[in-house]
Structure 1
Amino acid sequence: MASISIRCPTCSATEGVVRNGKSTAGHQRYLCSHCRKTWQISFTYTASQPGTHQKIIDMAMNGVVVPCQCPHYGRWPQHDFTALKKLRPEPVTSRIQPGSDVIVCAEMDEQWGYVGAKSRQRWLFYAYDRMRRTVVAHVFGERTLATLERLLELLSVFECGGMDDGWLAAL
């Protein structure tokens, strides 16, 4: 009989991992006796698989609209808006070396969600580096000039210039 060693995703231990019943869908659960965490390897729904949540966040930060991508992964958009609001832009800006050429295009994405009532919309403003295909900074807030100014404060570490489309939009 073949033996398969299961590795704990939290502490990476292989010793002390035991079976711990089955899920409601009939999939085997496992328990690590070292860190007391439970998990399962196979899932019924795509949205429950490990890494799906991070894929949705990465797609959102690279310009894919959240309500369009969530049905593909079997998730509701409000779950991902809460995770996006918890992100901090510092890890993204720290990857770009000072003095390197960065072409940043500040855009307002059409991603919005509401908190409690539809009248309380929250918008995502972000600055996108088209050369590196990465988001440099992002801000959640109301659709106002103050929210855009918060984004520009995050971009103050770079030498920024502004352009508009001729509609006399204030930067």
Structure 2
Amino acid sequence: MPLTVPCCPSCRSEHVVKNGRIHNGKQNHKCSDCGRQFVQDPQNKVIDEGTKRLIDKLLLEKIPLAGIARVTDVSELWLQQYVNAKYEQVPRQVTVSTKKKGRLTLECDEAWSFVGHKGNKQWIWLALDRSTREIVGVHIGDRSQEGAQALWESLPAVYRQCALCYTDFWQAYRAVLPPQRHRSVGKESGQTNHIERFNCTLRQRVSRLVRKTLSFSKKLENHIGAIWFFIHYYNASLPL
């Protein structure tokens, strides 16, 4: 029985060649005239809510998108579009428990990361409430005084009014934080142990922050979204 030659769905050309297989094993074709890629008798797979919830959990672990696509049996293209939409909707503001005015203690630090290539550095500025372990301030950008200012402005008002802030000796902190409520300390003091431990947790859980990885971010928007996605999860999981 002669094999039927597939026609290009765009230009109806029969000058079609085989072009590998898609994620579910079906034969992929490519039109030699217009370049369109397609499969015969395509069937749109509906991704159920259970699979989406599983993907949301896997995004919080050190697993690359290609690995998540293999585990959940979805296409990498669909997964990338899903992740793009999810990270775009993640709030860029912390949600923390209500604090009364009084003695509050913050630990602040900045962690190195990059987008696209290591020359495009993106510093993650973080402030952690020592008592509750909540992340109460976040900024992602360069390591300049403007970055320290953005971290300070991201803090809820009660922290800007009352908190004592422990940081390393990076000069940008001294230029921005009120001197009467700022202490520059070394690691040996133990005053920044909790924020440094969180930085380690962040690198262990968000694959695009691992120093030597193929899972690094290609888009700044997704880089920022992934970090915020984990921070919201982390704060919500604390036993407050």
Range class of TM-score, shorter chain:
0.3 to 0.5
Q: Quick check: which one's helix share is greater?
A: 2
Max Rg structure = 2
TM-score norm. by structure 2 comes to 0.36
TM-score norm. by structure 1 comes to 0.48
